[in-house]
């Protein structure tokens, strides 16, 4: 139930095959930018109607009205969770939370969980400095997690390396931590992916769950 499988494929037939094989074995599936751009929202809506839990991983990042309206349409697809970038700011998050609540009450929809993206797993301290952020990665993650919690988000997306500090600092015990950057402890298994593996802050599944992740991708 804690495992979310990433449907990081380009074709609908591939996604359907993965869902068919694993729908009774895992907690849900992640639809990201690649698949959503390739085939649109019809697939997501169908999966939701068939009670397949979908985490819509589009990492919304824009002005408040644009993000809130996109979030509302995502909720109408029947998704389980979606995410937005915390660096969009508190106004974006507060407006999104309010509009999701209002529309779901009015249209009798089950509100999706709203997650805030902290710092991408491909980002390092050096990357942050490159874009003008002079704090360390773990400090930035914690700062953003606190902001997300204060704005009423249901949780965050964070690398496994920051799980413990978030758990220790966020008082809301129902605050979700969804964790990408999951890799095997077997280096030989990971080696074949090195050619395109750009995730830097990683752990094994067991390590991430032991640290306190609610879900691992």
59 is catalytic: yes
The answer to whether 77 and 66 have CB atoms below 8 angstroms apart is no
The sign of the torsion formed by the CA atoms of 176, 198, 184, 3 equals positive
The answer to whether 216 and 205 have CB atoms below 8 angstroms apart is yes
Continuous H helices in the chain: 12-22, 33-39, 42-49, 64-76, 90-107, 125-130, 137-150, 163-169, 187-191, 205-211
As a whole number of angstroms, the distance between CA 213 and CA 46 comes to 28
Both tokens assigned to 87: 């660096």
Q: Which of 59, 69, 164, 200 is catalytic?
A: 59
Longest dimension (CA), the chain: 52
DSSP bridge pairs for 117: 85, 157
The answer to whether 60 and 70 have CB atoms below 8 angstroms apart is yes
The sign of the torsion formed by the CA atoms of 136, 205, 5, 111 equals negative
- Active-site residues: which are they? 59
């Amino acid at each position: 139930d804690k495992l979310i499988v990433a449907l990081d494929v380009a074709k609908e037939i591939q996604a359907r095959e993965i869902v068919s094989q694993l729908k009774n074995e895992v907690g849900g599936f992640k639809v990201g930018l690649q698949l959503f751009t390739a085939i649109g929202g019809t697939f997501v809506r169908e999966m939701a109607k068939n009670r397949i839990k979908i985490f819509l991983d589009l990492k919304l990042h824009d002005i408040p009205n644009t993000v809130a309206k996109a979030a509302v349409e995502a909720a109408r697809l029947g998704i389980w969770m979606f995410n937005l970038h915390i660096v969009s700011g508190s106004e974006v998050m507060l407006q999104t939370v309010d509009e999701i609540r209002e529309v779901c009450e009015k249209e009798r929809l089950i509100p999706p969980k709203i997650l805030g993206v902290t710092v991408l797993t491909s980002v390092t301290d050096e990357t942050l400095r490159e874009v003008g952020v002079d704090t360390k990665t773990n400090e930035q993650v914690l700062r953003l997690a606190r902001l997300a919690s204060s704005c009423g988000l249901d949780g965050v997306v964070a690398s496994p390396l920051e799980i413990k500090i978030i758990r220790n600092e966020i008082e809301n015990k129902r605050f979700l931590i969804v964790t990408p950057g999951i890799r095997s402890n077997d280096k030989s298994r990971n080696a074949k992916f090195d050619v395109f593996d750009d995730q830097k802050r990683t752990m094994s599944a067991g390590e991430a769950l032991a640290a306190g992740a609610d879900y691992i991708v």
